[in-house]
Amino acid sequence: MMPGGRLVFQSLVAWVAWILRHVLTFIDKNRQSMSLFQDLFSQLFGGAGGFFGGGGGRPQGPRKTKDLVHRVNITLEELYKGKTTKLALTRNILCSKCKGKGGKDGAVRSCPGCNGRGIKVIMRQMGPMIQQIQTACDDCSGTGEYINTRDRCNACKGKKVVPDKKMLEVHIDKGMRGGQTVVFRGESDQSPGADPGDVVIVIEEKPHDRFRRQENDLIAEVEIDLLTVLAGGQFAIRHLDDRALIVQVHPGDITKHGMLNFNVCLSEDL
């Protein structure tokens, strides 16, 4: 490339970078009005019930914190008889001293480093291309707010929430199975301006040494001698509640090894 051509190319790159920088500054300063315009446009042409029937509108309703999911291992005996177990839960709740404000009244200000957005836009030139990178603001840790150190709440250190321990009683009903859930509404983490999520308890069924569960039935595999198969007899099975169930075998009930015969094998409804 000729020296004159290289100079023109560098000037063109600098001019494009200048244009992009000013466009981003304009967008940043007018973000609120653009957001209002996008909302209006979404309602007219893309929101729920818009003229063109499209979805894609901004979600309605208040923000919600994440659900807390816990898994509990339950034995087959406990699922058969039912059980109440306790679960120690640690979650975040709003600071009672500052009422979730993080500091004194009026102490919370919009972060000057990101203009309250919580993110910073970094322009990085890679050859002839200019790359735009969004990163969390390191001044406010992505919150968009700033509280002076001397004005921060002593209890929560400006975080607006404090850890709290709570004991939940989980009621396992008779007949429940692995994969089912017990939900505690609104018991998850609290956060200013958001509804608390749920605590979801997921039941995991432990394998059993005597029974195999099939839907609401219990299948027991039992070894019996040939004489009982041919001439008949009886044997006992210890149930989940420790009862001894006597199973009567009649001649001809069992015709081959491993067969499943509900006239002989125990089928106990959960």
The continuous run of DSSP H or E covering 212 comes out as strand 211-214
d(CA 47, CA 30): 22
Q: Please report where in the chains the tokens 């709290």 appear, as a residue.
A: 164
- Angle at the Cα of 26 (from 22 to 30), degrees rounded to 5? 175
Whether pLDDT at 217 is above 50? yes
Rounded (5°) CA angle 237-208-254: 40
Please report the pLDDT score of residue 26 as a whole number. 61
Contacts of 204 (CB under 8 A, 6+ apart): 71, 72, 73, 74, 178, 179
Average pLDDT, the chain: 77
CA-CA distance, 97 to 175, in Å (whole number)?
A: 45
Are 234 and 246 contacting, i.e. CB atoms less than 8 angstroms apart? yes
Q: Is the model's pLDDT at 73 over the cut of 80?
A: yes
Q: 11-20, pLDDT tens digit by residue?
A: 666 666 667 6
Give the least confident one: 47-61, 141-155, 221-235.
47-61
pLDDT classification of 91: cutoffs 50, 70, 90: very high
Kindly report which listed range (166-170, 186-190, 243-247) carries the lowest average pLDDT score. 243-247
Instruction: Tell me the per-residue pLDDT of 184-213, one tens digit each, with 9 for 90 and over.
Output: 999 999 988 889 999 999 999 999 988 888
Is pLDDT of 34 > 70? no
Rounded average pLDDT over 54-73: 74
- Cα distances (Å, whole numbers) of residue 118 to 30, 36, 146: 16, 19, 10
Torsion of CA 241, 242, 246, 252, to 10 degrees: 70
* pLDDT at 76 (0 to 100): 92
What local confidence, expressed as pLDDT, does residue 241 receive? 87
CA–CA dist 51, 55 (Å, integer):
11
At 131, is the secondary structure helix, strand, or coil? strand
Overall pTM > 0.75: no
Return the pLDDT at 25: 64
